[in-house]
Structure 1
Amino acid sequence: MIRVVIAEDQQLLRGALTSLLRFEEDIEVAAEVPDGNEAWEAIQRHQPDVCVLDIEMPGISGLELAERIRAADLPCKVMIVTTFARPGYLQKAMDARVEGYLLKDEPIDYLIEAIRRVVAGERVISTDLAAALFMREENPLSHREVEMLRLTKKGMTTSEISKALYLTKGTVRNYLSSAIQKLEADSRQQAVQIAEEKGWI
């Protein structure tokens, strides 16, 4: 019996997926949860064979969960489901060594078969997503610029970043200005958004 934990914040999709999986004689849904924090608890409690994770959900994202599972050395296979065919996201998923990376609009039969295939030791990636790997852009940001955008994403101000990193406010502003220029953004918030979509922060 393949034991599965499903983490998906869209209730309709989560409910439909759970209902359909329960028709399969060799699959058992151990838990179905709406966010990353509950998913982490469920994975530790139920020790599933496979977890199906939405890439973007409240609390902990699917990619962050995949990294936690790997860091904790849990045997659970990880499948990410997404509506986004973004090369940066796929690269992050590959770096986290996930076994499956599927688009949400794949037929349900494809997803069910993918669960069986990853349990058998295969890696399954939606065809459209595999093509995105070859369109991956090189990250133009320096390590410091990435750091500045990550802290900005957390809501930190220039003053807070300068204190946290022991840099002058002017230096922080220079790094942020450079990042904004490289990403052809209009503001630091837009720069964060662009970098995040491309999987660079």
Structure 2
Amino acid sequence: MALLEQGRDISVVAEVENAHDILVAARKWCPDVVIIADIDLAGESSLPAVAEVRSDLPECRILILAGRCHPTVLRAALSTTVHGLLFKDAHPSKLAEAVRKVAAGHQVLDPDLVLTAATASSGMLTAREVDVLRLAAGGDDVSRIAERLNLSIGTVRNYLASTVTKLGARNRIDAIRIARDSGII
């Protein structure tokens, strides 16, 4: 962020280490632009904080820097109505230009990130898969999910297996984590 301050028109007023502190700092400083240094900050999704900043400080513009992450996570970031989304390894001059554009009211989206999010065939969960995963995340077992959704136990297992595959997860617990981090559930 120090590189941003080399331009006389950009001042960094705060830096935070975790997603929880984003809203606290934004409320304190009321910046023109909040730069989220990654979708995943200290192992915690920053997307809920983005939604809180949008709600509490609607005049504040948001620019997210993303690493190479799962298309589902990128789609979730885009769905939070951010004003800018760039790769986190963007050249400092490109970042400074993006900050200026976002502050001026323009939207800045890295075309490679958008293409990755839009064209990936994996990661697209159906509404029913989301319902099943949400209930599993809430602690319901397969038979309870089947009962609640009026499905067979085999169908519930198929939906859960499908979510693991589509999200590129290692197992059901990992699928729940990915879905939570990306704002799907």
Range into which the TM-score falls when normalised by the shorter chain: 0.7 to 0.9
Maintained 8 Å contact 2:76/2:182? no
Q: 1:13-72 CA deviation, whole Å, 9 max, x = no partner?
A: xxxx2x212222111111001011111100011111000112111486222122112222
| RCO higher in structure (CA 8 A, sep ≥6) | 2
Aligned length: 178
Aligned counterpart for 1:142 among listed residues 107, 118, 127: 127
Matched position secondary structure for 2:72 = helix
- Structure 2 residue 27 is matched with structure 1 residue 47: no
Q: Which residue of 2 aligns with 1:25?
A: 8
Matched position secondary structure for 2:119 = coil
Aligned counterpart for 1:75 among listed residues 44, 54, 59: 59
TM-score, with length taken from structure 2: 0.76
Segments of structure 2 that go 5 or more residues without pairing to the other structure are none
Q: Which residue of 2 aligns with 1:113?
A: 97
Inter-CA distance 193–50: structure 2 relative to 1 (3 Å threshold): same
Inter-CA distance 172–158: structure 2 relative to 1 (3 Å threshold): farther
RMSD in angstroms over aligned alpha carbons?
3.4
- Structure 2 residue 169 is matched with structure 1 residue 182: no
Measure the CA separation in 2 of the matches of 1:190 and 1:38: 25
Measure the CA separation in 2 of the matches of 1:188 and 1:196: 12
Q: Which residue of 2 aligns with 1:99?
A: 83
- Structure 2 residue 168 is matched with structure 1 residue 192: no
My pick for the range that moved more, 91-100 or 58-67, is 58-67
Q: 1:68-104 CA deviation, whole Å, 9 max, x = no partner?
A: 1222253110111111253322322222110111111
> What is the CA distance between 1:189 and its match in structure 2?
2.2
Maintained 8 Å contact 2:4/2:92? no
TM-score, with length taken from structure 1: 0.71
